[in-house]
Amino acid sequence: MAGTGVARPRQKREVIRGSRIRKFRMDPMAMAPRYTDQHAQAGLDFNFPAIETWRNQFPGYEIVIDDPEFTSVCPKTGLPDFGTITLRYMPREQCLELKSWKEYLFCYRNLGIFQENVVNRILEDVVKACDPVWAVVKGDFRPRGGISTTIEARWPRPEA
């Protein structure tokens, strides 16, 4: 670093661009991870309220619930994430109570949690609440920094 008297190790690398070989220096200090395991796990230990249910009266149909005004917060930057959460499921014996569902989703509003974790956590909580035949949670997040994200999680989970 210039002017600090601290020497940083440097490493030479070669990159082939077309027919030219360009040499540049790569600073290992600049390659330190910007996102840590703490960031990745943020929000997963939050104590969400239970989603209430009511007894299903009919077999073999699909329920689709959209929340087009979903918000959460990036745990790294603190910037808001806006998106649409869509839940599709086939109820078994219990259906989700919609006001309770709305209150559950509202808990994410100021919670620092990655978008991928939002979708997977919602799926896990839906399964815990109503044990559906199958369920799909889709998070369609609006662009931040020019990139939008769509995440989909399914129950039962596919085998890895």
Q: Which secondary-structure segment (H or E) carries 40? A: helix 37-41
For residue 96, the tally of other CB atoms under 10 A from its CB is 21
Residue written as token pair 């959209």: 66
Decide if 122 contacts 85 (C-beta within 8 A). Answer: yes
Rounded Cα distance, 120 and 94, in Å: 20
Q: Nearest Cα to 156, choosing from 136, 139, 130?
A: 136
Q: Is 131 a catalytic residue?
A: no
Question: Which residue among the candidates 27, 66, 67, 81 is catalytic per the annotation?
Answer: 81
Q: Is 45 a catalytic residue?
A: no
Decide if 69 contacts 140 (C-beta within 8 A). Answer: no
Question: Which residue among the candidates 27, 45, 67, 74 is catalytic per the annotation?
Answer: 74
Angle at 135 between CA 130 and CA 139, to 5 degrees: 115
Tell me, rounded to whole angstroms, the distance of Cα 151 from its chain centroid. 7
Decide if 64 contacts 9 (C-beta within 8 A). Answer: no
Give the active site residues.
Answer: 74, 81
